[in-house]
Chain A
């Protein structure tokens, strides 16, 4: 397609010529892309937590309040070790538990030391075969002095539904933001088209094909999308790292490192930006392509 270079140049120039509108479009598009990115990252993190919990073959066995340390170690411990599929059984005293809480959360638990400690003694039990998970948990629950088995399958199932929920919400966010972005880009390009309606009418009168009329506007949309994609890729790194540190301070969990998703994320932003830009511009120009002569000029 000869002459395409000229049209591409015109499209790029147009971004600068309508810089205020371009800036507004890029701003909105960046917001949309960043929010989309955060929704995807949230979903990735929840998935990662769910997977790590699901793969963990350790359960915590809480003992009744009236069980003392000696009884726990001398009587209940050996009983638990005898249960089929139990490969390790490690005692975890209530003093250790409160100390650990204190280390994590500060002096809040200072007054709950010694006799005031409300926590029960516990055992950390590791299983040999995860496929026997449910029956092993059942046998442990039936053992003498056992108050509750905090197996993480509850958490896992909750996290799984949370994962599904975040994925669904994420998907809707992506769809809604994509529609908003399309609207914004198509409006921006429509303004450019309005200011260049003379050119469009001349292009059509001298026999420019629809494709040729479309090119500068689609290029303009793509350039806006590309710039927004690049800016979003930079912003999300800082935003994600800042947010993850804040969340980890409250709930420690194994986060998804941004470096592991940086490349696909950046590429996705750029590709998404360019696609949204092109479609948005295509929607606007479509209307003009159907018009003829004076109609284009609003006569």
Chain B
């Protein structure tokens, strides 16, 4: 899905951001990119998004060599990605709905499709009831969820999150990564850049460490996740109405999760 082949990047001012980096991220993986400030993490993301051009080496996204990609084709590459920023980058004067819809409108989506899809995605991130609110009326965690909804709305195959938990409290940070994990379960490749090692250790995902512009550690692809946060927790079950709780009382949490994900996938398919 994403392949870096001997990639180096030196900025015009002489700063060496990446040096001979080889990384291979498969479709459907969830990868944390960690490293100290100035280690080259952001450059790594900019190269994937083709905001920067490598000085050496080649980068492949969806088997396409983006190093040689023409400028006019870059927007189409970016449509396969959803970006989540540390500072949310929400437009204050727009409602939550419009902020998410904006990403669809500017690539020419039909108004009817925009309305249906945005409400569906807002439901997915748990903000359907806040659709008419302005970003300033939301908490940091909620704002980041709007940002995540905007990244998701065009149905990208890759989500790139640049320090998505940098501006929110630890509890909310956990929630955001949980949400990303859920999205990952549907097959979306997730790349999260963070410097919060503690948060990374709570999840059993692949971790790539970049330091001094080089890959200093790579936990490798995770094939089985035993500590993946669940879509419906025991606490959630406690608030489910009795008649439904009775119906599902003998169903395991794992089975429930599968059902939920199936419903989500079907909902998305209907939406398309």
Contacts and interface: CB of A to CB of B under 8 A. Distances in A.
A198 B89 contact: yes
A202 B108 contact: no
Interface in B125-181: 150, 154
Nearest to B99: A202
A206 B89 contact: no
B115 interface: no
Contacts of A202: 89, 91, 102-103, 106, 150
A115 to B, nearest CB: 86
Chain A residues touching B, range? 20 to 34
A198 B85 CA distance: 12
Interface stretch (A135-143, A151-159, A208-216, A280-288): A208-216
B245 interface: no
A201 B78 CA distance: 12
Contacts of B61: none
A110 interface: no
A204 interface: yes
B83 interface: yes
B79 interface: yes
Chain B residues touching A, range? 20 to 34
Given A293-B46, A293-B49, A208 B89 contact: no
Interface string A265-295: 0000000000000000000000000001100
B108 A212 contact: yes
B154 A206 contact: yes
Contacts of B76: 207
Contacts of B110: 2-3
A1 B78 contact: no
A1 B105 CA distance: 12
A199 B78 contact: no
B232 interface: no
A288 to B, nearest CB: 14
Contacts of B91: 198-199, 202
Interface string A1-32: 11110110000000000000000000000000
B107 A3 contact: yes
Interface string A201-243: 1111111111011000000000000000000000000000000
A209 to B, nearest CB: 5
A201 B49 CA distance: 13
Contacts of B89: 198, 201-202
Nearest to A10: B105
B78 A2 contact: no
B109 A206 contact: no
B78 A207 contact: yes
Contact of B109 (A3, A199, A205): A3
A208 B89 CA distance: 16
A207 B79 contact: yes
B123 interface: no
B108 A3 contact: yes
B11 to A, nearest CB: 12
Contacts of B105: 3, 6-7
Nearest to A203: B106
Interface in B72-90: 72, 75-79, 81-83, 89
B107 A208 contact: yes
B51 interface: yes
Interface string B102-122: 110111111100000000000
A6 B77 CA distance: 23
Given A198-B89, A201-B89, A206 B49 contact: no
A6 B101 CA distance: 11
B72 A206 contact: no
Contacts of B109: 2-3
A55 B111 CA distance: 65
Interface of A: 1-4, 6-7, 198-199, 201-210, 212-213, 292-293
